[in-house]
Structure 1
Amino acid sequence: MKKLFFIACLLFAIIEAYPQAKWPVITQTAKPWTRWWWEGSAVNKTDLQWSMQQYQQAGLGGLEITPIYGVRGAEQQFIPFLSTQWVSMLEYTLQQAKSFNLGIDLATGTGWPFGGPWVTPTDACKNVNLKTWTLKEGEQLTEKITFTQQPMVRTVSGKPVDIKTLSYPVATNKNLQEYAFDQVRYEKQLPLSLLMAYDEKGNSQDITAKVGTDGTLNWIAPSGNWTLYALFQGWHGKMVERAAPGGEGDVIDHFSLPALQHYLQYFDKAFAGKNLKGIRSFFNDSYEVDDARGQANWTPDMLQVFQQRRGYDLRKELPALYGKDTKEKNTRVLSDYRQTISELLLEKFTTPWHSWAKAKGSLVRNQSHGSPANILDLYGAIDIPETEGTDILRFKFATSTTHVLGKPLASAEAATWLNEHFQSSLGDVKVALDKYFIGGVNHIFYHGTNYTPKNDPWPGWLFYAAVHFHPNNPFWKDFPTLNQYVARCQSFLQAGKPDNDVLMYFPIYDRFAEPGRDLLHHFDGMEGFDNTDFKSSASWMLEHGYAFDLFSDKQLQLVSNKGAGLLSGGNAYQTILLAETKYLPLETLQKLVTLAQNGATILVHKSLPGDVPGYSDLVNRQAAFKQLLARLSFSTANDVQQALVGKGRFVMADDMQQLLSAAKVPQETMAVQGLQCIRRAIPAGKYYFITNTGNQRVDAWVNLATTAEHITVFDPMTGKAGKTMVRKEGGQTAVYLQLNQGESCVLQSTPTADASSPYNYYAVAGNPVKIGGTWKISFLSGGPALPAATTTTQLTSWTTWAGDGLKEFSGTASYTTSFAKPAGKVQDFLLDLGNVQETAEVFLNGKRVTTLIGPVFQVVLPAGSLKDNNQLEIKVTNGMANRIADMDKKGVHWKKFYNTNFPSRLPANRGADGLFTAVNWTPKPAGLTSEVTITPIVYMDKVRIKQPDPSRVIQ
């Protein structure tokens, strides 16, 4: 007994010393979430419960409720937003979500942006209108100082509306779902905010008080030539987009704290006495106030606020604001105006909205992009920054702030418009999600899932974006496979800390200083930074495997030294980079110099910043700025300039590679092999998420910017894991990887050996053998009707076969065949399904093997699972496209939605009525469309991996 106890203790000690590969725990947050459209808020308890059960079974972790426009024919079920009945349905949803372990987020409004029928004209978004006159000495203006706002109506439907038939304000009208207003301006005399007179010598007079109630100016021009500038406060007229019943109305003034407070008080009143503790976070969609005619660029106290913040009187500088002074002064005053708007959006909207949610025990998720502000600072003021789109550099603005400020989650509105409606497969979505992961996102929200009654005729209720993640989509059957993949990936990506090396400065003042067609610029990723070194340098680092985050001037003040390195949000960085920045605030330069004095390396690409931005206290700020720059004494060696500052230095060069090398910034060279990665730091190691974005299979050694000697590989699609082979190359660790195009893996480095089994890499041990002389096909589920069973010896799209109901069928078909076990002694076999349209569930000898969603349709079959004669079944599911096309060709009415009733993404799919149509589509390929093969494989040992034989590697 003692001997057995000793052996057990020894085994336990070995396991402790050499831990096995371990997948992180899958949490509710690690699972993907989805935006849950409540169309018309026409929900009922029975279908809410059924829907949430479907979502839970599909592997979703949570739902973001966004009430949206309604469905025609369901008007009797519409529930006005924030009504007693609506809040009751929300309470019921929160109760049911808890039982299904689903998290719930809630949009702070319907559609977007914030607004509704309770937003009064006082609180609605404003614009400023300019009118000018010229007078000579002794002249008096005969024209009245008035400005008439011209009427204008824009609807999403594009249907003409006579504004004279509308009551004021717009929310008082009936049938607002039918109108689908996007922007409404009534004809009205605008109030005068300011009248200034300027002469050619730069003198100015505020003569606002000399304007009578009828607009008559009681003022005679004194000596000189005078230009009068009149500012009139107007109404931008932006309406809530895609508003739900009870949510239609004006958008708020985002620069006014009272406007926000009045808006949120309506929620407070509706929520009073209700149990809404289950709301994890409140959500705000992207700004989008100005995706309309003109801009919301004013707030009633703008002149006072500007003077408080900028230290000078904007009333005296209107010529410069409107580009009529010297070029330099124009630039500086305009920059100050934009900075003031940026601060107001942060301090009067984003921060107090966050405080309001926090007081309710909830977080906030925010899409800051698209706003006329420093979006890094807006993201910094909330809990979960959210991005969208398809560009990694765009993602960086949300994810960088998450990293720089030590926030745990960065979310994404994912798969919004991958392709045209009904054209995107789960494999397409997988590839899109991998790009988000590479960009730093670790909290996916699909866009989106419609609430739809269980018994509503197919295709049910749909939203106008192009990927439809709901139970009526045939791919829902295999949706759990994608969700399990996402959950496994995010379980790693939500662990540890970000592991990026470079902090890159966001040169917002360079953009603030650029004139434009309108007063404001809007910030959305790299848009507006074309032909700048900021964009080209960021792109270069991304393409060449350098890990970086962006930071703002405000965020820099929180960065501290850690030896020669830097700390921000508890995360370590190696250096700071400025990419040919023109304007830099004095406080930012002072902080950079302080960091350098304490040991940091500050990298400067091409040239040092040349000046401070803005106009306030310009002479003193410029002098201090130049004095600081003068302290940087550069010497040159090998085309790299260096200025020592205290314990640290500034390094400047024209070549990015030389610049980063001078700072010894590590490079992930796998980029040249078509691989992209992102790292996370964990105790005593790192996580790497790697995806093959190239155009060919990678079957090779891959260098990592780490010196770890032990690497475990995890396949998040299959759940397989094991230790991988490692060797040293140039002081770095190299691992052997096999990744087909579109495949991904996670690596974990550890200081000690992994007791897990080796990860199985393979080489082919024979020629592929075609499977299936004859295939039996039966159609299992889908519609509009199940085609008759058939057989084939040639695998092609079922839409090309003879027979009724095949071209229009969307659903699942079972392919069965038999095959003999290939001869020879081999370890295992590779089953290759070839071209699958669009997902495949594989069964061997009556046992389920796996579900394949693409883009790769291969699976390893253990040799022991094969018999002398084998039964193979493959259940293939296609998408919605063919059935939708058939409905359009037959004139079946399914586009039954208010507001945006079903726009196409591509002009080719737009009908005469302006709506999406698939009437001209040819059937999309479906089913197994190429040969299915099985290939004998052997697993590669250390010798083979060190000297791979290209002829024996699967191409």
Structure 2
Amino acid sequence: TPFYKTASKIMKAGYGTDFISDRFVQSLSYAKGTIYTPGGNYQSLVVPDTDVMPLATLKKLVQLKKEGAQIIFQGLPESVPGFANYKEQTEQLHILLTSAQSSISEKPDVVSALQDNTVIAEEIVASGLKYVRRTVDGQKMYYLVNHTAKPIIGTFALQMVAENVRLYDPLNGKEGVADSYVSDGKTFVKLDIASGASLFVLSGERKRLAAWDYFESSDTAYPVKGDWNLRFLKGGPEIPESATIQNLGSWTSMGDKASYFSGTAAYEIDFQNPDTTIEHWKLQLGDVRESAKVWLNDTYLGTLWSNPFEIQLANLKPGTNTLRIAVTNLPANRIRAKELRGEEWKIFKEINIVNKDYEEFDASQWQPMPSGLLGPVSLIPLIKNKSN
């Protein structure tokens, strides 16, 4: 749709966007170069190409445009939606468009129009990072996410001026003062965001907050291998037997009872510290289906439920260490088991479950979904950046 194409083009060009309804348009006001809403302030409003538009919406947009607001029309409507007073409202819409010709015009190239209106894009999108930017009580906040296949490392410009910048990892709660500096009206921040990871960048300082630790990963990886003790802890329909395995893989290959199982299983292994001169490590779990809690030497390290399935370690003991990973899979295999056993479970007050073709939902045809710790699990030395 024109709406989707416009939104995609704007975001790829580095502009932060929010979406607004016809009703919410009525709450807009304009003053001194800023469009105000009850929830935030904006430099410009873009109207994607559309054939129809409520008369009240067009009236409000024309009013804002005449007041000086940056309203960019990619195309102009030809009529109003619906059939209520259709002829009368369409005539009024045409009269309004004719009378407002001097203040509104079609600008199909939305990015050029934003640039002409001196709306500044975020350069950081050229790196592959996606962002959401907010200002809350005067504090600038960026939420950055790396959806590319590789880590994104470097110093990047952000459209804010902040003498102090903090980084916050939402996955583990880690927080620290970033390496940053201000130049030419921008703040340059050093970032290292793994594939699949996200990070908050916040302006302002917090007392007694340590510097953010920047690490470089070694090219050497030490596989964690040996005898893994696998115990199924809780779930159903039945608890499979424990096992000792050498090769990690989906537990669905361990017989019917395991292939039907949905729940939590613990993997435990003893391994030797591969290099006692290394202080900081990264533990990579490889393929995890679907979430994992990690303990090292009976100390809980955290829960991993999204890419990248990795966590930092700083407490490897010389000699033998014990790693325990509790993995929980999805309920799909248990649903499949219910279907195969003919159990009645799809019971609802209004309607029973149907599939996308509006036929009776049938999970008995599903193949078992991979489950557990598929690996490979490895330890990677981390080298602390000298700037810390």
Do the aligned partners of residues 554 and 820 (structure 1) sit closer, same or farther apart at CA in structure 2, a change above 3 Å counting?
closer
Partner amino acid, structure 2, of 1:666: I
State the distance in 2 between where 1:920 and 1:780 align. Answer: 27
Do the aligned partners of residues 823 and 885 (structure 1) sit closer, same or farther apart at CA in structure 2, a change above 3 Å counting?
same
Partner amino acid, structure 2, of 1:940: N
1:571 corresponding residue in structure 2: 40
State the distance in 2 between where 1:594 and 1:899 align. Answer: 47
Structure 1 residue aligned with 2:210, among 719, 738, 757?
757
TM-score (norm 1): 0.37
Partner amino acid, structure 2, of 1:669: E
Do the aligned partners of residues 729 and 581 (structure 1) sit closer, same or farther apart at CA in structure 2, a change above 3 Å counting?
farther
Partner amino acid, structure 2, of 1:860: Q
1:785 corresponding residue in structure 2: 238
State the distance in 1 between where 2:290 and 2:303 align. Answer: 11
Partner amino acid, structure 2, of 1:845: N
State the distance in 1 between where 2:336 and 2:55 align. Answer: 61
Which structure has greater strand proportion? 2
**1:879 partner SS:** coil
State the distance in 2 between where 1:856 and 1:765 align. Answer: 17
Deviation readout 1:798-844 (Å, 9 max, x if unpaired):
2223x673222222222111111122523311111111122211111
Structure 1 residue aligned with 2:30, among 551, 557, 561?
561
1:794 corresponding residue in structure 2: 247
Do the aligned partners of residues 553 and 933 (structure 1) sit closer, same or farther apart at CA in structure 2, a change above 3 Å counting?
closer
Shift of 1:918: 2.6
Deviation readout 1:51-103 (Å, 9 max, x if unpaired):
xxxxxxxxxxxxxxxxxxxxxxxxxxxxxxxxxxxxxxxxxxxxxxxxxxxxx
Partner amino acid, structure 1, of 2:280: D
**2:113 partner SS:** helix
Contact 2:249 2:375 in 1 (8 A): yes
Shift of 1:660: 0.3
Shift of 1:558: 3.7
Do the aligned partners of residues 600 and 791 (structure 1) sit closer, same or farther apart at CA in structure 2, a change above 3 Å counting?
same
Contact 1:810 1:882 in 2 (8 A): yes
State the distance in 2 between where 1:535 and 1:628 align. Answer: 27
Larger radius of gyration: 1
Partner amino acid, structure 1, of 2:9: W
Contact 1:812 1:878 in 2 (8 A): yes
State the distance in 1 between where 2:234 and 2:55 align. Answer: 67
Shift of 1:860: 0.5
Do the aligned partners of residues 728 and 892 (structure 1) sit closer, same or farther apart at CA in structure 2, a change above 3 Å counting?
same
**1:546 partner SS:** coil
State the distance in 1 between where 2:278 and 2:36 align. Answer: 53
Contact 1:784 1:883 in 2 (8 A): yes
Deviation readout 1:525-571 (Å, 9 max, x if unpaired):
xxxxx3x4x44323321333322344456544543332122222263
Which is bigger in relative contact order (C-alpha 8 A, separation at least 6)?
2
1:626 corresponding residue in structure 2: 98
Do the aligned partners of residues 553 and 927 (structure 1) sit closer, same or farther apart at CA in structure 2, a change above 3 Å counting?
closer
Do the aligned partners of residues 722 and 886 (structure 1) sit closer, same or farther apart at CA in structure 2, a change above 3 Å counting?
same
1:669 aligns with 2:123: yes
Do the aligned partners of residues 887 and 756 (structure 1) sit closer, same or farther apart at CA in structure 2, a change above 3 Å counting?
same
Structure 2 residue aligned with 1:542, among 8, 11, 21?
11
State the distance in 2 between where 1:896 and 1:624 align. Answer: 55
1:827 corresponding residue in structure 2: 279
Deviation readout 1:318-369 (Å, 9 max, x if unpaired):
xxxxxxxxxxxxxxxxxxxxxxxxxxxxxxxxxxxxxxxxxxxxxxxxxxxx
Structure 1 residue aligned with 2:88, among 616, 619, 624?
616
State the distance in 2 between where 1:579 and 1:783 align. Answer: 51
Partner amino acid, structure 2, of 1:569: P
Do the aligned partners of residues 617 and 815 (structure 1) sit closer, same or farther apart at CA in structure 2, a change above 3 Å counting?
closer
State the distance in 2 between where 1:842 and 1:679 align. Answer: 32
Do the aligned partners of residues 626 and 611 (structure 1) sit closer, same or farther apart at CA in structure 2, a change above 3 Å counting?
farther
Do the aligned partners of residues 536 and 814 (structure 1) sit closer, same or farther apart at CA in structure 2, a change above 3 Å counting?
closer
Shift of 1:612: 8.3
Contact 2:55 2:89 in 1 (8 A): no
1:877 aligns with 2:328: yes
Q: After superposition, where does 1:158-173 map in structure 2 within 5 Å?
A: none
**1:756 partner SS:** coil
Shift of 1:701: 3.1
Do the aligned partners of residues 592 and 766 (structure 1) sit closer, same or farther apart at CA in structure 2, a change above 3 Å counting?
closer
Contact 2:59 2:96 in 1 (8 A): no
Do the aligned partners of residues 865 and 617 (structure 1) sit closer, same or farther apart at CA in structure 2, a change above 3 Å counting?
closer
1:810 aligns with 2:262: yes
* Structure 2 residue ranges without an equivalent (≥5): none
Deviation readout 1:201-258 (Å, 9 max, x if unpaired):
xxxxxxxxxxxxxxxxxxxxxxxxxxxxxxxxxxxxxxxxxxxxxxxxxxxxxxxxxx
Larger mean Cα displacement after TM superposition, 829-838 or 669-678: 669-678
State the distance in 1 between where 2:361 and 2:56 align. Answer: 53
Shift of 1:692: 2.2
1:922 corresponding residue in structure 2: 367
Partner amino acid, structure 1, of 2:373: L
Deviation readout 1:844-886 (Å, 9 max, x if unpaired):
1122221222232111011x35342111111222222223323
Do the aligned partners of residues 805 and 757 (structure 1) sit closer, same or farther apart at CA in structure 2, a change above 3 Å counting?
same
Shift of 1:580: 4.3
Contact 2:166 2:177 in 1 (8 A): yes
Partner amino acid, structure 2, of 1:822: P
1:694 corresponding residue in structure 2: 148
**1:903 partner SS:** coil
Structure 2 residue aligned with 1:853, among 286, 305, 310?
305
State the distance in 1 between where 2:158 and 2:260 align. Answer: 49
Do the aligned partners of residues 825 and 618 (structure 1) sit closer, same or farther apart at CA in structure 2, a change above 3 Å counting?
closer
State the distance in 2 between where 1:785 and 1:593 align. Answer: 66
The root-mean-square deviation of aligned C-alpha atoms, in Å, is 3.2
Shift of 1:783: 2.5
Contact 1:726 1:733 in 2 (8 A): yes
Contact 1:695 1:741 in 2 (8 A): yes
1:657 aligns with 2:111: yes
State the distance in 2 between where 1:896 and 1:553 align. Answer: 39
Partner amino acid, structure 2, of 1:722: G
Do the aligned partners of residues 823 and 903 (structure 1) sit closer, same or farther apart at CA in structure 2, a change above 3 Å counting?
same
Structure 1 residue aligned with 2:200, among 746, 766, 771?
746
How many pairs does the alignment contain? 384
**1:851 partner SS:** strand
1:888 aligns with 2:339: yes
Contact 1:651 1:659 in 2 (8 A): no
Contact 2:159 2:185 in 1 (8 A): no
**1:887 partner SS:** helix
Contact 1:716 1:744 in 2 (8 A): yes
Do the aligned partners of residues 754 and 674 (structure 1) sit closer, same or farther apart at CA in structure 2, a change above 3 Å counting?
farther
Structure 1 residue aligned with 2:224, among 771, 782, 788?
771
Q: After superposition, where does 1:935-950 map in structure 2 within 5 Å?
A: 935-942=380-387
Contact 1:821 1:866 in 2 (8 A): yes
1:86 corresponding residue in structure 2: none
Contact 1:779 1:786 in 2 (8 A): yes
**1:892 partner SS:** coil
Shift of 1:659: 0.6
Contact 1:675 1:690 in 2 (8 A): yes
Contact 1:611 1:625 in 2 (8 A): no
State the distance in 1 between where 2:90 and 2:362 align. Answer: 59
State the distance in 1 between where 2:112 and 2:98 align. Answer: 27
1:931 corresponding residue in structure 2: 376
Q: After superposition, where does 1:432-581 map in structure 2 within 5 Å?
A: 530=1, 532=2, 534-551=3-20, 555-569=24-38, 571-580=40-49
Do the aligned partners of residues 764 and 597 (structure 1) sit closer, same or farther apart at CA in structure 2, a change above 3 Å counting?
same
**2:258 partner SS:** coil
Do the aligned partners of residues 754 and 711 (structure 1) sit closer, same or farther apart at CA in structure 2, a change above 3 Å counting?
farther
Do the aligned partners of residues 885 and 665 (structure 1) sit closer, same or farther apart at CA in structure 2, a change above 3 Å counting?
same
**2:259 partner SS:** coil
Partner amino acid, structure 1, of 2:13: H
Which structure has greater helix proportion? 1
Partner amino acid, structure 1, of 2:173: G
State the distance in 2 between where 1:825 and 1:770 align. Answer: 17
Shift of 1:603: 2.8
